[in-house]
Each structure stands twice: as structure tokens, then as C-alpha cells.
Amino acid sequence: MYAIRRIGTKLQSANNVRQKHTLPDLPYEYSALEPVISREIMSLHHSKHHATYVNNLNAAEEKLAQAQAKGDIQTVITLAPALKFNGGGHINHTIFWQNLSPKGGKPSDALVQAIEKDFGSMENMKNQLAASSVGVQGSGWGWLGYNKMMKKLVIQTCQNQDPLEATTGLVPLFGIDVWEHAYYLQYKNVRADYVKAIFDVANWQDISSRYEKALKSFILKVFCHLLKFHITSAYIEGMYILIANSPTAIIQSIPSQPIVALVCVISSFLTRDQWIYSI
């Protein structure tokens, strides 16, 4: 069974063993974000820089597969930085293209409320994200992320192409690429102007959608844990009733504790000898 990749288009290799990553299409024209981001920057950024991350990721994965097939653990370890850098570059840019739009709309009510709760106001959040992004030393990213454990929006920066979720656990909502290749042709050395302007092409529909998915994923996990706990408790209680040889107790428990009763019935089939003995 092959792993399901979460981003990009998929192509199966000729031997049907490994899938290759491909460069995702932009959801708009290269010139669509002008004047905030020029056509030239978008074209180079997408078709050259992002494409290079994809190609290098595929090459690293190919070497990894060969090394694993030979049991060559030394090579597997030496490939880790290339996988992190190029895999991160592919993940980050795939999010970045979707985070931007010439018609990004407005943030959802739920996201606005969360931003106001965690930052005081939308303006404060923008200022903090901009300041952190501008302050990245060298190349990296500024992120608005969601901490699922703390149920809180946070600002975080990452160096190089470190992917936010894999390195910090935060769910990426909005990323600002502050590598020079993202702005230098147009903004020269004034990164602050580029970061300030990028909010004008923020795709708030996409950012809001990411926030809502992060919330649902957290709620689903909590629900699964509670269900698991409930079923385990019911199983223990059901087994106790069985061991106590009390079929009447099972019948009496149906209205008030249907899950316990169901577990008892199922358990009775699994422990039929004991059930017959008790009768």
C-alpha cells in the first residue's frame, strides 16, 4: 500500500512503486498579483525556485528508496537534510500560492473572533506577523499558525525552508516567504515594504478555511479519544456483569446504559462457554 501524499499532483513512476511530486499549477496568472508582486517575480518564483525544490525532493526520495532497499542506513541518514529542505520548500510554496489571491475576500467571522481574542485586533496581528517576518535573519518564513493544544493563534518564524507543522506542531494558516527570491527584483533590500504590501493580496478565504479545518481536526481527535475511553469503560463494566453471572443485570442496563448492554451481548458471544455455564 502506498503512502498518500498530501500536496501536489501525483504521478506514478514507471515501475508503479513510487509516486513523484509535481509542481502544482498556480490558481491564477503570474501577473494576477501585480502591483504587489510582479509577474517576473511570480514566474521565476514558481517555475524555477519551486520547481527546483520539487525536482530535488524527487531525487532525494529516489536515493532514499535505493538506500532503504540496500539497507544502507548511512546514506539514509545523510539524506535527511535534503529531504527536510526540499520537502519543506515544496510544502511551504504550495501553501504560499494558495494563501495569495487578487480577490482574497475577508476573513471569516470565526477567524476574526480568534484573532481579536489572541492578538487584540486584526491590526495587531498584522503588525506582529509583519515585524516577525521582517526580523527573520537570512532566509526563512513568517507564519500565522494555530496551536491545537492551546487552542490559540500564534506568530512563528522558521529558518530556511523548515516546514512549520513538521518542525513546531503548529498548523500553518498564512505564510510569508521572506527569501530574497520572493521580493528582491521589485523591492530590492526593503523587505519591510514587501511584507507590508503582501497583506493586500492575502487570500483570507483560504486562510479562514485552513483555520476551520484545524479546528475540526482538533474536535475530531477529542471526540475519538472520548469515544475510545467510553467504549473501554463500557467493556470493563460489561465484563464485570458477565463475570458476576447476572443476565438480568444486562437486561436492566439496556435503557440507562445501552453501550454497556451492547458490549455485554458481544462479549457473551466471545465468551460463550462462560455464558452457558452461568445459565
Per-residue cell: 66 = 535505493
Burial group, residue 248, by CB count within 10 angstroms (0-12, 13-18, 19+): exposed
Cell numbers that stand for 123 in this block: 491590526
Considering the complex, state which of residue 119 and residue 179 has its C-beta at the smaller distance from Fe ion. 179
- Say which DSSP state 182 is in: G
Beta bridge partners of 5: none
Q: Which is nearer to Fe ion, 118 or 177 (CB)?
A: 177
- Name the residue among 88, 99, 175, 167 with its Cα closest to residue 132: 175
As given in the structure block, the three cell numbers for residue 99 are: 494563501
Q: Which residue's CB is nearer to Fe ion, number 53 or number 119?
A: 53
CB of 117 to Fe ion, least distance (A): 31
Least Å from the CB of residue 231 to Fe ion: 47
Q: Of 37 and 250, which CB lies nearer to Fe ion in the complex structure?
A: 37
Least CB distance to Fe ion at residue 181 (A): 5
90 versus 208: smaller Cβ distance to Fe ion: 90
Closest CA to 144 of 204, 230, 65: 204
Residues that bind Fe ion (CB under 5 A): 177, 179, 182
Cβ atoms within 10 A of the Cβ of 127, count?
Answer: 13
No. of helices (H) and no. of strands (E), the chain: 13, 5
Number of residue whose CB is nearest Fe ion: 177
Q: Considering the complex, what minimum distance in angstroms separates the CB of residue 238 from Fe ion?
A: 57
As measured in angstroms, the least distance from the Cβ of 53 to Fe ion is 8
Q: For residue 273, give the C-alpha cell.
A: 462457554
